[in-house]
Amino acid sequence: MEATAQEVDATVTAAHAAREALADRTVRAAFLRTAADHLEAAKGQLVEVADAETALGPVRLNGELARTCYQLRAFAGIVDEGAFLDVVINHPDDTATPPIPDLRRYKVPLGVVAVYSASNFPFAFSVAGGDTASALAAGCPVVVKAHPDHPALSEVVARVLRNAAAEHGIPAGVVGLVHGFEAGVELIRHPLVAAAGFTGSIRGGRALFDAAAARPVPIPFHGELGSLNPVVVTEAAAAERAEAIGAGLAGSMTLGVGQFCVKPGLVLVPSGAAGDGLVKSLTDAVSNTDPGVLLDHRMRDNFVAGVAERAQLPDVDAPVTPGAGGEHTVSAGFLTVPASRLAAEDEHDLLLEECFGPVTVVARYDDEDEVKAVLSRLPGNLTATVQVSEAEAAGEGRATEILAELTPLAGRVLVNGWPTGVAVAAAQHHGGPYPATTSTSTSVGGTAIERWLRPVAYQNAPEALLPPELRDDNPLGLPRRFNGRLER
C-alpha cells in the first residue's frame, strides 16, 4: 500500500502535466460542482467506509460530507466571480513622481500542491477537503498524502474526484494520492511540488515545515499544527449564568470525543462561589457524557498517558477523572488547578500544551492580574474565547481589555460562544500565530484560495500580448481596480 519514491515521482509528474487542463476558469468551476454532485451521489458508500475506519458515526460523517460538498460549490462560485485574481491595472502617468509606466497585475497558480490529510476530519480536511478544493479552485493540481487512519476512504474519494474530472476532459492525474510515511517525506521534497497544506500534530507538521524550508528551492508550507483554544470566564459572567456556561463548556470539550482542533483546552474561571457553580455544572454535564472511541489506539494511548501525567502534578484535582473508559474507549473529564500555578514557568507548563481528546483544564484565578499572567504565557492558538455578562457585553467592566489581550493569541476571537464549529464563510479565519499554524493564512473560507496563488505584474506589455484578464476591454468581465477605480 505504501508508495515508493518512484511512485511518488510518477504521481507528482502526472499532476504537473494536468496544470493546463485547469487553466480555463469555467472548466474549473464546473469540475468542482461535478465533484460535489458525485460525492453526494456516493454518500451511502462513502459514509459506510468512513465509519468502518474512523468510528465517528453516520450522523457526524453525513454532516461532514455535506460540509465538504458545500466547500467545493463555494469555491466554484469564487472561481466564477474571479475577484480572487486581484486584477489591478495602472495606465502610464508621466506626472507622477517617479513616473508610472503601464502596469497590470494579477495572480497565477503556483503549481502542484501537496495536501496532507487530517485524522479527525476524513472528509472536510482530507482528499476532497478544504485544501484540495481551494487548490483546485486556484488552478493547482493536488497530490494528497492519505492519512493512515482512513486509507480505503481516501481511495474511494480520490476515485470520485477523478471521475468528476474526466467529465470535463481533465486528466486523472489532477488529483494524485499516495500512502505511507516515507511517501509523505518524498512528496514535500519533490522539485515539482510548489506548495503544501497540512493539518495534524505539531511534531509532524514542524518536521515537514522544516523540510519545505530546507529544499534547494523552498516552498510555502501552510500547516495547522495544534491549539489550546483558551477561554476566559469573567466573574460577572460566572455569577450571571454559571450553569449555562458549564453546560456549554462540557458540550464543546466533549464534541466529537474531544477530537476537534478548536476544542477549548484551558478555561480561566474565577475562584469563589460563582466559579464553584460553574465547576458544579461542568461536573454534572461531563459526568453524564458516555465514553467514546478515539480515532486510533495510538491516540487513545497518548490521551490516557497524557491525562494521567497531568493529574499527578501538584495542586491538580480531577472532579471528573478523564482516561480509559474501556478496552477501546475513553471517558471524558476535566482537571482543575490554581491559576497561580500557570503564571510562572515550572512543571505545570504541561497544562499549557494541547491534550488531544475529551479533557480540559480549568484554572481558578483570584484576580485579573492572574488572568493576564496566564494569558501572557500562552502560545499561538486557532481561537480564544471570553464569556462576559450582559452588562459587560454592553461595554461595562474589563471585557474590552480582555478582548484586546486575547486578540494577539488567536486567529478567531469569540464572545459568549464556543469555538467548536468552524463556519465556511467569506469572513472566516481558521489559523493563528505559531504553533497554531505556520503561516498567517486561513484553511477555511474563501480566502483559503490565496495560499496557492502568486502575483505577477506586466510592464509596458502590448495589449495584444496580454492575458485576457489584463486587457483594457475586460473580455472576461472580471472585478478589477482600473486606474484606481474599483470596477465590479
> Annotated catalytic residue: which of 64, 69, 235, 261?
261
Q: Which of 224, 235, 370, 469 is catalytic?
A: 224
**Residue 467's domain is classified under what CATH number?**
3.40.605.10
Decide if 281 contacts 242 (C-beta within 8 A).
yes
Q: What is the chain's alpha carbon radius of gyration, rounded to the nearest angstrom? A: 24
- 307 within some domain: yes
Confidence of residue 404 (pLDDT cuts 50, 70, 90): very high
Same domain assignment for residues 175 and 245 = no
Note whether residue 432 is domain-resident: no
Q: Is residue 261 flagged as an active site residue?
A: yes
In this prediction, residue 488 has a pLDDT band, given cuts at 50, 70 and 90, of confident
Same domain, 201 and 269: no
Question: In terms of DSSP bridges, do strands 266-270 and 230-233 run parallel, antiparallel, or are they unpaired?
Answer: parallel
- pLDDT digit string (tens) for 52-85? 999 999 999 999 999 999 999 999 999 999 999 9
122 and 202 share one domain: yes
Residue 369 counted as domain residue: yes
Q: Are residues 161 and 234 in the same domain?
A: no
In the residue annotation, 224 being an active-site residue is answered as yes
- Do 57 and 182 fall within a single domain? yes
Q: How does pLDDT run across 201-258, given as a tens digit for each residue?
A: 999 999 999 999 999 999 999 999 999 999 999 999 999 999 999 999 999 999 999 9
Domain limits at 395?
A: 230-415
How many domains in the chain? 2
Whether residue 381 contacts residue 374, with contact meaning beta carbons closer than 8 Å, is answered with no
In angstroms, the first-to-last Cα distance of the chain is 50
Digit-coded pLDDT (tens) for 277-304: 999 999 999 999 999 999 899 999 999 9
Is residue 325 very low, low, confident or very high in pLDDT (cuts 50, 70, 90)? confident
Q: Is the pLDDT of residue 345 over 90?
A: no
Q: Concatenated DSSP letters for 76-112?
A: HHHHHH-GGG-EEEE--BTTSSSPB--EEEEEEE-SE
Single-letter residue type at 205: G
For position 327, what pLDDT does the model report? 82
Q: Is 422 inside any structural domain?
A: no
Identity of the amino acid at 97: T
Question: Confidence band (pLDDT; 50, 70, 90) for 121?
Answer: very high
386 and 327 share a domain?
A: yes
* pLDDT at res. 1: 74
pLDDT at 311: 97
Contacts (Cβ under 8 Å, ≥6 apart) of 305: none
Domain holding 269: CATH number? Answer: 3.40.309.10
Chain-centre distance for alpha carbon 385: 17
Same domain, yes or no: 118 and 16:
yes
